[in-house]
Amino acid sequence: MTSPRLLYIVVLVSLKMLLMYSYKSTDFEVHRNWLAVTSKLPVSEWYQDQEGQSHWTLDYPPVFAYFERGLAVMADVVDSNMTQLDNQEYASERTVIFQRSTVIFGDVLLFLATHAFLSQILRGYALWASVTLVVFHPGLLIVDSIHFQYNSMLYALLVFSYYQVLHRRYISGAVLFTILICAKHLYLYMAPAYFIFLLKNCVLPSRKKVQKFVLLGLSVIGTTLVVFLPFLDERSLTGVLKRLFPWGRGLCHAYWAPNSYALYSAGDLVLQKVLKIDASTSVGTRGLVDGYDGGDTHAVLPSITPRLSTQITLLFVSILIVMYWSRPPGGRSSSRHVVEVFELIVLCSLSSAIFFAFSWHVHEKAILMVSLPSALLLWLVPGPMILPTLCIYIVGTFSLFPLLFQAAELPLKIALVPLILVGIPILAPPQLRLPPTNVSAMLFVAFLAIYQSLHPMLTSRYPFLPLLMLSVSSAMVLLPAFYQLATGFLLYSWSWK
Amino acid sequence: MNSDGDLGAMEKNRNWIILVLFIAAITIRCMMLMMPHSGEGKPPMYGDYEAQRHWMEITNNLPVLDWYKNTADNDLQYWGLDYPPLTAFHSYICGAVGKLCVPEMVELHASRGIETYNTKVFMKLTVLLSDLFVYLPGAYYAVSGVAFSYKHTAVFVDALTLLWLHPCLLLIDHGHFQYNSVSIGLALFAVGAMARHRYLLASVFFTSSFLFKQIALYYAPAFFFGILALCMRDGFFVGVPNVLMTGLVVVGTVAVIFYPWLATLPATDDVGQVLHRMFPFSRGLFEDKVANFWCSVSVAVKFQRIFDLSVMLKVATGCTVVSLLPACLCNFRARYGSGTFVASVVASACSFFLFSFHVHEKSILFPIVMSALVPVAMPKENRQEAAKVVIILTFISLFSMYPLVVKDNLHVLYTSLMLATAAACELTCQSEAWLQLWRGIICVVVACHFIHAAFEPPERLPDLWTMMFTISSFCCFAAATIALTVAQLKCAFDLKYNPKWE
């Protein structure tokens, strides 16, 4: 019997290849520019602003830069024009095929990591359904294979670190997670969760607590130092940090991530209209997006500052940490390590959820940070938690639809709606019970996601309204789902299956 | 899906599985929307994509009677209409919708060679919608008709998957760009009707099918003998009125479709002009390099130089008839289900492909898509073998289209489809002997591609690599046709043969 994994990979590659010629966003040029920057400039200049160069500057941490450097070696063989610094917007056929192939390679890595991890816990149909839910996540399809990013590769790294934790190799898990953060600092969303998990399950139970703690700390710090080795002088370091954490941007991203500020801002707008307040003093929707200059963000409701949003986020993270710390350990001793890693994954997704809901300038692509772990969790969570996990998975995907705004992707989006609404529940565990309220909510969000594309063809008035409604309704499903997931996890003591 | 294990769950969820498969089929077609098409960026003639667009332009701007005539506005040298009227009507509808969405696409003369983003999306959408409304339902109707004696969902779903996601059809229709799916879809409707013994309905569908693309006449002998056998089932005197009814229905359908041209008779010979465009017999024995008998044998014996064209026409016709007759005549001894009829359809189409005049490499579509029905229509003990043969043959058909892929720059789509089909073959061929055969075929295929990519052909024989592809494919097609005919004859004449249907 031929290896089922090989067949799966072949089918996976075959399907992802079909998207090679679809829409590519500015992220494609961003990554091409990074190929050029890392191959043509000396390391000390990677994070420094260059005159006359493309403004798509390197704003991921060094591990990603090293990855691009490695890719650039192969890129030079395929099409040497790709790595020229001043060849902006260069997108020859070979370039496109090469770059898309690297993303597909990341998809294959994700499959291998997910299969290796899940095959330790699940068997048979459950294993393959679960793997399919992760690897063929429609959100990944939209963001990675079309829009162009490398989330699948990075997520493979995360799953691999989970795999190490499953086998109680905490230090290598921590090291892998550190490398991941040094590849995309967005994974800092999960850092508090990982930290507190390691504290509770690795340091505390051991007999030499201090030694363990110091060892973990040293390995994390050591890894970071090794990664940042070429950048350890002040000039380079400030350059890197400035790129990684640009604080000058506005509260909401251009597409209004479906978080609490979307609801807050929408409420503010409604109140403006109802109370007939002149919007010239407030900044309306543009000010939220364009930039933050210290002024008022909202007209009627109190303003949100970066400091306030950080405080709210840290407040909820602290609540999560405290409640997790005081939770008794669950599960039979034989499957203790499975319960542990399950706790880790849920903690990571909850931590990401909190940051997604409350932090400053959240990109709507960040919903993948919550949605991808939820794909992993769907077959692992106990019964009551399946529904919120599924809601996060499905509604999170619909909220990403506005990213594909060109005509050629509209049929795909329309076809994806029934595929997601019918196919995902079929692949979900059989204990899933979908109440009509959730179904109608998902249908409503799906309708808005499609309508958002059709609206410009019908009328030119209120161009931003469908996007606003989509973000608001997605937030109204996602935020309660986060809460349900958190309460299901933290408050109930359950025995592992 | 190939396991006989979880029978209960599959049966219960049969409709859900088919629904998901349907949506998946549409989604996959949506995913390949922006693939390259034939003649992209190649003035002055471009390719089949431009031909289809040009027909939308012609049909929407000129009166009906001018569609097939060489007029000042309609230059027949630039992709003149050479498919029957149903294609013209289909182009008219597409063009009418196009006028609303992308009017620059159908402007008379001004729209020649237009290749903008919006027009490309629109054109690809027309193929998708044609699939959605004609091909996908037709495939379902055919499979549900032919497979009625099976209780196993797995068999049903396997055949449906192959038909709905047929790689050759996806490559040609959605890549190279044509509307074969409409013609084949109508033919599938006809097969489904035949399986339900509704021969009048089948006649209407089949007539529409070949009045959309005359290549569907490849199936005609099988339909002729099949319907004849069905009519005569209850005896000669009951049969004759049935036959006459069928003839009337066929003539009626033709009359309805040809009405605009027939209405001008006997004043002008417009009908003749249409027929002349449909059947251009002044062309040669074969065009390009194609995996049929004449092209393959021409390596050794150049028939077209030895004999006169009219002689070759008779020889080709004779060979075709000899090849298809045994399988088709078996219709008179069809003892169980519709397996005999389906096999005769495939054998007929294969014979035409192998032996007839001016065969295009895309014509392999007509035999190979229909062959997906063969495993479903076979009795249980033949089913597994038939499934293996069919899937490997599909792979080889895809392989035989590689010269076209090179011309159209469709390598990405081709690789994707080859990988998926190879995975399907690997999954299907699980017995020792078949696995060896399949692995051998993969080696040959990979070797051919490697040689094609790595080395330049020798100067005296510039088509050598192409011939490599076509001759190897021809051997497989010929072998398959012979095997099918032999199996047909065995089934029809072996008195001890008592197929079990489960």
CA dihedral B475, B476, B480, B483 (to 10 degrees): 60
End-to-end CA distance of chain A: 31
- Contact predicate B339/B377, CB 8 Å: yes
Per the structure block, which two tokens stand in for A137? Answer: 């996540």
Side chain identity at A325, as an amino acid letter? W
CA of residue B169 relative to chain centroid, distance = 8
A430 touches B at CB < 8 Å: no
Which residue of A406, A407, A415 is in closest CB contact with B27?
A415
Q: CB pairs below 8 Å between A and B: how many?
A: 87
- Determine the Cα–Cα distance for residues A47 and A62; give it in Å rounded to an integer: 9
pLDDT value of position A138: 94
| A365 contacts: CB under 8 Å, gap ≥ 6 | A143, A149, A400, A403
- Determine the Cα–Cα distance for residues B423 and B419; give it in Å rounded to an integer: 6
Which residue of A10, A15, A412 is in closest CB contact with B30?
A412
Cβ-Cβ contacts under 8 Å, A24 against chain B = none
Describe chain B by its helix, strand, coil percentages, rounded to 5.
Answer: 70, 0, 25
Compute the average pLDDT of residues B204-216.
93
The DSSP secondary structure of B433-472, one letter per residue, reads: HHHHHHHHHHHHHHHHHHHHHHSPPPTT-TTHHHHHHHHH
pLDDT value of position A141: 92
pLDDT value of position A140: 93
pLDDT value of position B468: 86
Which region among A34-43, A45-54, B74-83, B314-323 has the lowest average model confidence (pLDDT)?
A: A45-54
Distance from CA of A19 to the nearest CA of B (A): 6
Is A269 strand, coil or helix? helix
Cβ-Cβ contacts under 8 Å, A414 against chain B = 30
Nearest CA in chain B to A146: B31
Q: By C-alpha distance, which of B49, B212, B221 is closest to B134?
A: B212
- What is the per-residue burial (b if ≥16 Cβ within 10 Å, else e) of B319-349? bbeebbbbbbbbbeebeebbbbbbbbbbbbb
Distance from CA of A31 to the nearest CA of B (A): 22
**Is pLDDT above 50 for B384?**
yes
User: What radius of gyration do chain B's Cα atoms show?
Assistant: 23
Per the structure block, which two tokens stand in for B313? Answer: 């026409």
The DSSP secondary structure of A328-352, one letter per residue, reads: PP-S-GGGHHHHHHHHHHHHHHHHH
Which DSSP state fits B235?
A: -
ipTM exceeding cut-off 0.95 for this assembly: no
CB contact under 8 A, B420 and A411: no
- Contact predicate B30/B235, CB 8 Å: no
To test the contact with chain A by mutation, choose from B13, B30, B116, B442 the residue with the greatest count of A C-beta atoms within 10 A, namely: B30
B487 touches A at CB < 8 Å: no
**Is pLDDT above 50 for B502?**
no
Cβ-Cβ contacts under 8 Å, B412 against chain A = 17, 20-21, 97
To test the contact with chain B by mutation, choose from A5, A17, A410 the residue with the greatest count of B C-beta atoms within 10 A, namely: A17
Cβ-Cβ contacts under 8 Å, A138 against chain B = none
Cβ-Cβ contacts under 8 Å, B31 against chain A = 15, 18-19, 22, 412
CB contact under 8 A, B427 and A423: no
B374 touches A at CB < 8 Å: no
Is B291 strand, coil or helix? coil
Per-residue pLDDT of chain A (497 residues; tens, 9 = 90+): 678 999 999 999 999 999 999 888 888 989 998 898 888 888 888 888 777 777 788 889 999 999 999 999 999 888 888 888 877 788 888 899 999 999 999 999 999 999 999 999 999 899 999 999 999 999 999 999 999 899 999 999 999 999 999 998 999 999 999 999 999 999 999 999 999 999 888 888 878 888 889 999 999 999 999 998 888 887 888 888 888 887 666 677 767 788 888 888 888 888 888 887 665 544 445 555 555 555 566 767 777 778 888 899 999 999 999 888 887 765 556 677 788 888 899 999 999 999 999 988 888 899 999 999 999 999 988 888 899 999 999 999 999 999 988 888 999 999 999 999 998 988 888 888 889 999 999 999 999 999 998 998 888 888 888 888 999 999 999 999 999 999 888 876 555 44
A458 touches B at CB < 8 Å: no
Which residue of A7, A17, A93 is in closest CB contact with B427?
A7
With vertex at residue B315, the alpha carbon angle to CA B309 and CA B318, rounded to the nearest 5 degrees, is: 145
Which residue of A11, A419, A423 is in closest CB contact with B423?
A11
How many CB atoms are closer than 10 A to CB B444?
14
| CA dihedral (A310, A316, A322, A328) positive or negative | negative
Residue that the structure tokens 């994390």 belong to:
A220
Nearest CA in chain A to B125: A411
Is A404 strand, coil or helix? coil
- Contact predicate B278/B83, CB 8 Å: yes
Distance from CA of B485 to the nearest CA of A (A): 32
Cβ-Cβ contacts under 8 Å, A412 against chain B = 27, 30-31, 33
**Is pLDDT above 50 for B501?**
no
Phi-psi region of A132 (alpha: psi -120 to 50; beta: other; left: phi over 0): alpha
- Contact predicate A344/A235, CB 8 Å: no
CB contact under 8 A, B30 and A415: yes
Distance from CA of B375 to the nearest CA of A (A): 22
To test the contact with chain B by mutation, choose from A6, A17, A18 the residue with the greatest count of B C-beta atoms within 10 A, namely: A18
Which residue of B27, B120, B430 is in closest CB contact with A416?
B27
Distance from CA of A42 to the nearest CA of B (A): 35
Cβ-Cβ contacts under 8 Å, A397 against chain B = none
pLDDT classification of B324: cutoffs 50, 70, 90: confident
A338 touches B at CB < 8 Å: no
- Contact predicate A119/A142, CB 8 Å: no
Peptide bond into B44 cis (omega under 30): yes
| A269 contacts: CB under 8 Å, gap ≥ 6 | A284, A285, A468
- Determine the Cα–Cα distance for residues B297 and B238; give it in Å rounded to an integer: 47
Per the structure block, which two tokens stand in for B232? Answer: 């005569």
Distance from CA of A152 to the nearest CA of B (A): 19
Which DSSP state fits A303?
A: P
- Determine the Cα–Cα distance for residues A393 and B25; give it in Å rounded to an integer: 23
- Contact predicate A13/B418, CB 8 Å: no
B34 touches A at CB < 8 Å: yes
Which DSSP state fits B333?
A: G
pLDDT value of position A494: 53
- Determine the Cα–Cα distance for residues A419 and B27; give it in Å rounded to an integer: 8
User: What radius of gyration do chain A's Cα atoms show?
Assistant: 23
- Determine the Cα–Cα distance for residues A45 and A48; give it in Å rounded to an integer: 5
Distance from CA of B26 to the nearest CA of A (A): 7
pLDDT value of position A179: 95
Distance from CA of A139 to the nearest CA of B (A): 15
pLDDT value of position B2: 36
Distance from CA of B228 to the nearest CA of A (A): 43
- Contact predicate A159/A335, CB 8 Å: no
- Determine the Cα–Cα distance for residues A188 and A354; give it in Å rounded to an integer: 12
- Contact predicate A482/A350, CB 8 Å: yes
Cβ-Cβ contacts under 8 Å, B422 against chain A = 10
Distance from CA of A460 to the nearest CA of B (A): 17
pLDDT value of position B5: 40
CB contact under 8 A, B34 and A407: no
- Determine the Cα–Cα distance for residues A44 and A32; give it in Å rounded to an integer: 19
| CA dihedral (A235, A236, A241, A247) positive or negative | positive
Is B286 strand, coil or helix? strand
- Determine the Cα–Cα distance for residues A249 and A287; give it in Å rounded to an integer: 10
Residue that the structure tokens 């992709």 belong to:
B79
- Determine the Cα–Cα distance for residues A18 and A111; give it in Å rounded to an integer: 18
Peptide bond into B266 cis (omega under 30): yes
Which region among A93-102, A159-168, B81-90, B142-151 has the lowest average model confidence (pLDDT)?
A: B142-151
Cβ-Cβ contacts under 8 Å, B26 against chain A = 415
User: Average pLDDT, whole number, for chain B?
Assistant: 85
Cα–Cα distances in Å, from A249 out to A254, A298, B239? 11, 16, 83
Q: Is A294 exposed, middle or buried (0-12, 13-18, 19+ CB in 10 A)?
A: exposed
B404-436 pLDDT, tens digit each: 998 888 999 999 999 999 999 998 888 888 899
Residue that the structure tokens 């700390």 belong to:
A217
Cβ-Cβ contacts under 8 Å, A18 against chain B = 28, 31-32, 35, 413, 416
CB contact under 8 A, A15 and B24: no
Phi, psi of A55 (to 5 degrees): -85, 5
- Contact predicate A12/A107, CB 8 Å: yes
- Determine the Cα–Cα distance for residues A2 and B375; give it in Å rounded to an integer: 23
CB contact under 8 A, B24 and A2: no
Which residue of B31, B33, B419 is in closest CB contact with A13?
B419
- Determine the Cα–Cα distance for residues B480 and A140; give it in Å rounded to an integer: 42
Residue ranges of B 420-449 with Cβ closer than 8 A to chain A: 420, 422-423, 426-427, 430
CB contact under 8 A, A15 and B26: no
Distance from CA of A93 to the nearest CA of B (A): 10
- Determine the Cα–Cα distance for residues B399 and B167; give it in Å rounded to an integer: 11
Helix residue ranges, H only, B151-219 = 153-164, 167-169, 180-195, 199-210
